[in-house]
């Protein structure tokens, strides 16, 4: 099997792609199970947007890194430790409130990230960012409207929404971390400095939580390591299901 | 979500400039903003529209089927044929009307 390319540019793109793929796959798990038909289609739309973003980003990464593997290989034949997504996006769907909390936290980060990446010196990445930014702006609107309605809804929905925000909070810090890969890519004008997106993210979250009458959790200890390939149990279970078919029937086609 | 019976909304789409909004279907939503989002998600997945209207179904005043004879039948072509421009000879130069 070909080795994974190790250039910072390749790994930076792979992190972006893995975020989109893993969250996109999580949302497909709602298909046929969402609370209403309307919401079922809405979540499938968001999933398809994210999987589309992942495909573009894998394609770019393969070109940049000279990877001999194709995008299907990257999605379906890598093991858990080779996935470089933040742990936020691999968290299980939980109840609808948990999925909306996860979506809000990611989308509020993705919108300014893609906006910054439209100025990337990697012109293809800049093009992907322009398209992804519009999609994520809608995802942000969709999830924040739900968080607001559930938070400012019944006593039960308020309590479930608050629990969802509390539970996801420790996974949000990782999105704003920088390591050597990020610093090299920022210096090269390819990456956006994620650490500088935190004030924007805070403002988005504070506005939504205030309108939802929810309490912002205190920033405590944050989970880290997903972007370096460290994941807890959840991603493995998700990949086992997602990758079953191509692994059991190599080369299977429609 | 104790009440599953969300209000019903009617969805109207305008396919492009110059055309009017056309009724395409209905959906359930918890309020008007969500109705607009749901309409976008359910009815515009293939680029069908440049504009969306949603209207609470209860805001629509509909004619009663039982009143059809009084309201609508007097204007059928059989009863008022002269309201249809079928008595004019159209010159060939005009082409297809």
Tell me, what CATH number does A244's domain have?
Answer: 1.20.1260.10
Torsion of CA A90, A93, A98, A101, to 10 degrees: 50
Number of structural domains chain A divides into: 1
Cβ pair A45:B41 closer than 8 A: yes
Other C-beta atoms within 10 Å of A34: how many?
17
Does B26 contact chain A (CB < 8 Å)?
Answer: no
Asked whether residue A224 is domain-assigned, the answer is yes
Asked whether residue A2 is domain-assigned, the answer is no
Report the gap between the CA of B71 and the closest CA in chain A (Å).
36
Cβ pair B1:A157 closer than 8 A: yes
Chain B environment of A154 (Cβ under 8 Å): 1-2
Considering the segment(s) B8-87 as one domain, its CATH architecture is: Roll (3.10)
pLDDT greater than 90 at residue B20: yes
Asked whether residue A29 is domain-assigned, the answer is yes
- What is the pLDDT at residue A224? 96
pLDDT greater than 50 at residue A237: yes
- What is the pLDDT at residue A191? 98
Predicted confidence band of residue A77 (pLDDT cuts 50, 70, 90): very high
- What is the pLDDT at residue B48? 92
Chain B environment of A42 (Cβ under 8 Å): 37-38, 41-42
Summarize the confidence of residues A118-143 as an average pLDDT: 98
Q: What range does the domain containing A123 cover?
A: 8-248
pLDDT greater than 50 at residue B26: yes
pLDDT greater than 50 at residue B64: yes
Nearest CA in chain A to B40: A42
**Using CA of residue A75, residue A78, residue A80, residue A84, what is the dihedral sign?**
negative
Asked whether residue A113 is domain-assigned, the answer is yes
Could you give the ipTM of this predicted complex? 0.80
- What is the pLDDT at residue A3? 67
Chain-wide mean pLDDT for chain A? 96
| CA A72/CA A246 separation, integer angstroms | 9
- What is the pLDDT at residue B4? 66
pTM: 0.90
The contact set of A with B (CB < 8 A) is 35-39, 41-42, 45, 138, 141-142, 145, 149, 154, 156-157
- What is the pLDDT at residue B90? 83
Chain A environment of B27 (Cβ under 8 Å): 37-38
| CA A146/CA B56 separation, integer angstroms | 20
- SS3 readout for A206-240: HHHHHHCCCCCCCCCCCCCCHHHCCCCHHHHHHHH
- What is the pLDDT at residue A254? 80
Cβ pair B29:A141 closer than 8 A: no
pLDDT greater than 90 at residue B21: yes
Report the gap between the CA of B39 and the closest CA in chain A (Å).
8
- What is the pLDDT at residue A218? 95
Cβ pair B6:A36 closer than 8 A: yes
- What is the pLDDT at residue B5? 81
Cβ pair B30:A142 closer than 8 A: no
Cβ pair B34:A45 closer than 8 A: no
């Amino acid at each position: 099997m070909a080795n994974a390319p190790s250039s910072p540019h390749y790994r930076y793109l792979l992190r972006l792609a893995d975020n989109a793929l893993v969250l996109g796959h999580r949302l497909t798990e709602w298909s046929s199970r969402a609370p209403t038909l309307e919401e079922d289609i809405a979540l499938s739309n968001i999933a398809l947007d994210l999987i589309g973003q992942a495909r573009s980003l894998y394609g770019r990464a393969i070109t940049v890194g000279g990877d001999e593997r194709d995008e299907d290989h990257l999605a379906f034949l890598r093991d858990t430790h080779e996935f470089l997504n933040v742990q936020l996006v691999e968290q299980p769907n939980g109840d609808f409130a948990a999925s909306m909390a996860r979506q809000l936290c990611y989308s509020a980060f993705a919108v300014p990230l893609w906006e910054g990446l439209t100025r990337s010196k990697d012109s293809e990445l800049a093009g992907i960012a322009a398209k992804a930014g519009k999609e994520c702006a809608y995802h942000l609107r969709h999830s924040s409207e739900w968080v607001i309605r559930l938070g400012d809804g019944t006593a039960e929905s308020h309590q479930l929404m608050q629990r969802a925000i509390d539970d996801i909070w420790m996974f949000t810090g990782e999105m704003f971390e920088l390591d050597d890969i990020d610093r090299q890519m920022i210096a090269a004008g390819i990456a956006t400095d994620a650490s500088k997106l935190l004030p924007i993210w805070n403002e988005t979250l504070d506005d939504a939580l205030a309108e939802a009458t929810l309490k912002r959790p205190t920033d405590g200890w944050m989970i880290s390591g997903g972007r370096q390939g460290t994941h807890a149990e959840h991603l493995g279970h998700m990949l086992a299901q997602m990758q079953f078919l191509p692994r059991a029937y190599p080369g299977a086609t429609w | 979500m104790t009440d599953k019976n969300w209000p019903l909304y009617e969805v109207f789409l305008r396919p492009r400039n110059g055309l009017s909004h056309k009724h395409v279907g209905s959906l359930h939503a918890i309020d008007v903003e969500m109705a607009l989002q749901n309409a976008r998600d359910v009815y515009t997945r293939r680029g069908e529209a440049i504009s969306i209207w949603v209207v609470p179904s209860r805001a629509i005043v509909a004619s009663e089927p039982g009143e059809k004879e009084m309201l609508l039948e007097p204007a059928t072509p059989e009863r008022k044929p002269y309201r249809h421009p079928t008595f004019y000879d159209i010159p060939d130069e005009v082409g297809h009307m």
